[in-house]
Amino acid sequence: MGHAHSGKTTFIAALLHAAKMTPTQGRVSDGTAVTAYDEEEIARGATMQNAVAFAEWQGVKINLVDTPGFHMFSHEARAALLPVESAVVLVNAQNGVEAVTERVWKYAEEANIPRIVVVNQMDHPKAGGGGGLSALIDDLVDRWGRNCVPVQLPISDSQGFHGVVDLVTMEAYDYTPGGDGRGRMTKEIPANLAAEAKARHEALVELVAEGKDELMEEFFEKGTIPEDHLIAALHEAIREDRIFPVLFSSGLANIALDHLLDFIKVYAPAPIERVPFTVRAPAAVAANAGSDAESTGDAALSLRKVADSEPAALVVFKTMTDPFSGRITFFKVVSGVIKTDATVENYTRRGQERLSHLSIMQGRKAVEVQELHAGDLGAVAKLRETLTGDTLGAKGAEIQVDLFPLPEPAMTYAIEPKSRADEDKLAPAIHKLMEEDLLIKFFRDPMTNEFLIAGAGQPHIEAIVSRLKKRYHAEVTLKAPKVPYRETIRSKAEAQGRHKKQTGGHGQFGDCKIRMEPLPRGGGFEFGNEVFGGAVPRNFIPAIEKGIVESAARGYLAGFPVVDFKAVVYDGSYHDVDSNEMSFKMAGRLAFRKAMESAKPCLLEPVMKVEIEAPDEFAGALMGDLNGRRGRVAGMESKGRTTVINAQVPMAEMLTYGSILTSMTQGKGSYRMEMDHYDIVPQLVAEKILANAKRPVEEEEE
Ligand SMILES: Nc1nc2c(ncn2[C@@H]2O[C@H](COP(=O)(O)OP(=O)(O)OP(=O)(O)O)[C@@H](O)[C@H]2O)c(=O)[nH]1
Ligand SMILES: [Mg+2]
């Protein structure tokens, strides 16, 4: 995990090459990196969806999940925390901790996922930024606590970055830049690093010992801890989130990656060491499965041990859809052993699924396997109805796993098919894309009748449109969605509606007097009847209401529905022969329109609740910009070096905010928004809207 361009995809390509999983090192620039296979991602040079790979390193299988670093896909990076046991947090050596680095750290912290910090791109001439590497390490400690501790020292000199010192074993590793990632161990720590290495080694030993009484005693007695004790204790401290080790690497030049594989092998927690998966299961089921259950209301919270000896169960963490190979389902084996061709129950949907061609994924390539064990990641194609978040497994061993919450989509467009043929393809194609991308929303706006597509931001929606075209041959155009304005009244008004017509024999007659008054925002519509003494017969009252409701729906000022008012009929008259429902409906409409004339009608607009997050240095500019958008800032809060602004801004001013924010913050800002309330449009703005809108034509008397 890490900020955009910290080098995650390159880093995984380098790890895979160092482990001899690939004959050459894949590159993002030419589309050969194993975890960058999606054509949209290759075109954009950025990861947008999680991708899975694996390395075998000295008898250990290491599963790798590449995640996006672009701020608008942070939810996807967060979703990758479900199937893993630890997070490697890449920090760009040049820029230090950035907005998304902070964010993914927080996500991992909330999920209790151990973190290994890797300062990457150490080969870069500007590595260390302005303040040098020790300033960078101090900054990590500042942000994430003194438990962030280097377990390596980089060897950097006039030749650039070419090795690391292991501060546990006090051995040095030297690399040829551009090599295959295999280091040459030299026992000798460079003379200029010897003193610092010694000091940092001692600091590390002390920190590791701190967590354990018996180690503390040993430390005080001997002044140090034997290496094997130190390794075991560091492993435990990392697993328990007590220590966040800091390492150094260059993915691009493949320096120190074999050492990283070693580190992961020795120190990163294996799945079976995981604090058991917390799953929800009916108490009876949990008891049968031999797990510890603790009753919490109707569903029991239970812990499923990640062990082969438990019943087989898995959770789906990703779905890929492809017009050619169909659906590919990525899952984590939570417990037990999953065998190819097994039939399992989908606990979420209650169907059965057959797991044919059980595989492990190396990027987009499936490698078939016979079975998968507890804790491993696998994939299977062509399941019938299983989707992301579903749990499956042996009958009677039910588990449920909650996905991480998704943010609301930040950008919405009206989407229109280009042709009739495109129209037929559109909905099924979008629904396919929605299977693999849970953030996409597609719906018809009941207020404007437009089809809307919502996503994380401009680049996300552009990628969706491109996928629709390339994968499903459905072409669309995007437009800014219509703003669902409303109309309302600001004062009380009374009016009479009298409908009278004499055509030939049968006449029409309806007459009512109504009073209208404003309701509070969100009050909708209320209707009252205060007619005394049968001035209007009871059975005609609903017709009057219907007339008012119909007319209100058509709008008065500019064709937007009139809301938040109460209408009361208090008088009227009728004719024995000529009065009927139609006539009273007309009277209701006439009364409504007449009352509107003196009720001070005005426009209402939707106002959004907006939360904007960006590095501190952009806060001033963002506040100024919000002012220009008629925004009202409700609060501003500093979190580390990030400022969070809470504001209320009219929807009409936020239609393209995603791209504006990106350009204002160099892509480092992000925002969320949701509909909050309707508010009166200020006069000057309203005049412009009214000038462009069609005033509904006066109704003809029928
Ligand atoms: N000098 C140097 N450049 C690197 C290194 N790793 C990656 N890069 C370059 O940085 C750019 C981004 O690399 P990626 O691997 O795509 O970065 P990422 O973190 O996967 O980016 P996102 O997927 O957008 O979050 C590319 O141009 C890489 O060539 C490195 O170790 N050193
Ligand atoms: Mg990437």
Answer whether 353's CB lies under 8 Å from 392's CB: yes
Confidence of residue 372 (pLDDT cuts 50, 70, 90): very high
Q: State if residue 250 touches ligand 1 by the CB under 6 angstroms criterion.
A: yes
Residue 505 neighbours by CB distance under 10 Å: 6
List the residue whose alpha carbon is closest to atom 7 of ligand 1: 7
Centre of ligand 2 to C-alpha 402, Å, is 26
Q: Name the residue at shortest CA distance from atom 2 of ligand 1.
A: 121
pLDDT score, position 296? 43
Torsion of CA 664, 666, 672, 674, to 10 degrees: 30
Mean pLDDT score of the chain, rounded to an integer?
Answer: 90
Nearest residue to 647 via CA among 618, 620, 616, 623: 623
Reference 612, options 593, 594, 603, 625; nearest CA is 625
Q: For tokens 């604090």, what's the residue?
A: 275
What CA–CA distances, in Å, run from 448 to 198, 414, 481, 584? 69, 10, 9, 29
pLDDT digits (tens, 9 = 90+) for 612-632: 999 899 999 999 999 999 999
Quick one: tokens of 541?
């009252």
Ligand 1 proximity of 8 Cβ (cutoff 6 Å): yes
Strand order through the sheet with 152-157:
152-157, 160-166, 171-174, 184-186
How far is ligand 1, taken at its centre, from the CA of residue 252, in Å? 8
Calculate the alpha carbon distances from 580 to 262, 326, 495 in Å: 89, 61, 21
Backbone angles phi, psi at 305, to 5 degrees: -65, 135
Cβ of residue 89 lying under 6 Å from some atom of ligand 1: no
For residue 701, count other CB atoms closer than 10 A to its CB: 11
Cβ of 5 closer than 6 Å to ligand 1, yes or no, is yes
Query: Per-residue confidence at 396, pLDDT binned at 50, 70, 90?
Result: confident
Residue 248 backbone phi and psi in degrees, to 5: -135, 140
123 CB near ligand 1 (under 6 Å): yes
pLDDT on residue 326: 86
Helices (H), 577-618: 581-598
Among candidate residues 56, 51, 54, the one with its CA nearest the CA of residue 40: 51
Q: What is the pLDDT of residue 701?
A: 44
Q: Is 481 helix (H, G, I), strand (E, B) or coil?
A: coil
What values do phi and psi take at 406, rounded to 5?
Answer: -100, 150
Model pLDDT, residue 72: 85
Q: What are the two backbone dihedrals, phi and then psi, of residue 52, each rounded to the nearest 5 degrees?
A: -115, 140
> 3-state class of 554 per DSSP?
helix
Cβ of 304 below 6 Å from ligand 1:
no
Q: Is the model's pLDDT at 685 over the cut of 70?
A: yes
CB proximity list for 642: less than 8 A, separation 6 or greater? 99, 102, 613, 614, 615, 616
- For ligand 1, whether the C-beta of 249 sits within 6 Å is no
Is pLDDT above 70 for 180? no
pLDDT at residue number 325:
78
Place of tokens 């937007």: 560
Give distance in angstroms: CA of 63 to centre of ligand 2: 16
Ligand 1, atom 6: nearest CA belongs to which residue? 7
Pocket test for ligand 1, best of 94, 101, 252, 255 (most atoms within 8 A of CB): 252
Does ligand 1 have an atom closer than 6 angstroms to the CB of 251? Answer: yes
Six token digits for residue 360: 């492990």
Return the percent helix, strand and coil in the chain, to nearest 5: 30, 35, 35
pTM: 0.79
Ordered structural domains, the chain, with CATH: 8-269 (3.40.50.300), 277-393 (2.40.30.10), 411-461 (3.30.70.870), 486-599 (3.30.230.10), 605-689 (3.30.70.240)
Instruction: Determine the pLDDT at residue 288.
Output: 43
Write the DSSP symbol of residue 2.
B
Task: Assess whether pLDDT exceeds 60 at residue 422.
Answer: yes
Nearest protein Cα to ligand 1, atom 27: 29
DSSP letters along 388-427, please?
Answer: TT-EEESTT-----PPPPPPPPSEEEEEEESSHHHHHHHH
pLDDT bin (cut points 50, 70, 90) of residue 393 is very high
Q: Look up residue 562 and give its DSSP letter.
A: B
Residue 673, pLDDT above cutoff 90: no
- Please tell me the predicted confidence (pLDDT) of residue 293: 43
Q: Measured from the CB, is residue 47 less than 6 Å from ligand 1?
A: yes
Unique residue bearing structure tokens 């996300």: 460
Ligand 1 centroid vs 9 CA: distance in angstroms?
A: 7
Give the closest residue (by CA) to ligand 1 atom 21.
5
How far apart CA 264 and CA 412 sit, in angstroms, is 42
CA–CA distance, 583 with 101 (Å, rounded to integer)? 68
- How far is the centre of ligand 2, averaged over its atoms, from the C-alpha of 46 (Å)? 5
Category of 534 on φ-ψ map: left (φ > 0), alpha (ψ -120 to 50) or beta: left
Residues 519 and 568: their CA atoms lie apart, in Å, by: 13
The pLDDT assigned to 122 comes to: 95
The pLDDT of residue 278 is 62
Tell me which amino acid residue 97 is.
V
Task: Give the integer Cα–Cα distance in Å for 454 and 439.
Answer: 8
Ligand found nearest the CA of 10: 1
- In ligand 1, the atom with minimum distance to the C-alpha of 3 is 25
Query: Quick one: 573 exposed, middle or buried, by C-beta within 10 A (0-12, 13-18, 19+)?
Result: middle
The response to whether residue 488 sits with its C-beta less than 6 Å from ligand 1 reads no
Q: Which residues surround ligand 2, an ion (CB under 5 A)?
A: 8-9, 47
Q: Whose CA is nearest to atom 11 of ligand 1?
A: 5
Compute the average pLDDT of residues 157-177: 89
28 CB within 6 A, ligand 1? yes
Which among 238, 83, 111, 226 has a CA at the least distance from the CA of 168? 226
Does residue 107's CB lie within 6 angstroms of at least one atom of ligand 1? no
pLDDT reading at 290 higher than 50: no
The 8-class DSSP code of residue 255 comes to: B
* Full strand arrangement of the beta sheet holding 299-304: 277-281, 299-304, 292-296
**67-78 mean pLDDT:** 93
Q: Which atom of ligand 1 is nearest to the CA of 90?
A: 19
pLDDT in tens, 538-552: 999 999 999 999 999
Confirm or reject: Cβ of 46 under 6 Å from ligand 1: yes
| E strand spans, 86-129 | 87-92, 115-120
pLDDT tier at 594, thresholds 50, 70, 90? very high
Q: Residue 251 Cα, ligand 1 centroid: separation in angstroms?
A: 8
DSSP state of 654: -
Give the pLDDT confidence score for residue 279 in this predicted structure: 62
CA of 35 to the centre of ligand 2 (A): 8
Q: Is residue 3 scored above 50 in pLDDT? A: yes
The pLDDT tens digits for 248-259 are 999 999 999 999
Six-digit token string for 601: 């009608």
The pLDDT value given to residue 702? 39
- Please work out whether the CB of residue 120 comes within 6 Å of at least one atom of ligand 1: yes
Least confident range from 75-89, 405-419, 523-537: namely: 405-419
Our answer on whether the CB atom of 101 is closer than 6 Å to any ligand 1 atom is: no
Write the DSSP string, 223-244.
Answer: SS--HHHHHHHHHHHHHTTS-E
Ligand 1 atom closest to the CA of 33, numbered from 1: 15
φ, ψ for residue 83, nearest 5 deg: -85, 0
- Mutate-to-test residue for ligand 1 from 28, 74, 100, highest number of ligand atoms within 8 A of CB: 28
- Interatomic CA distance for residues 4 and 71, integer angstroms: 7
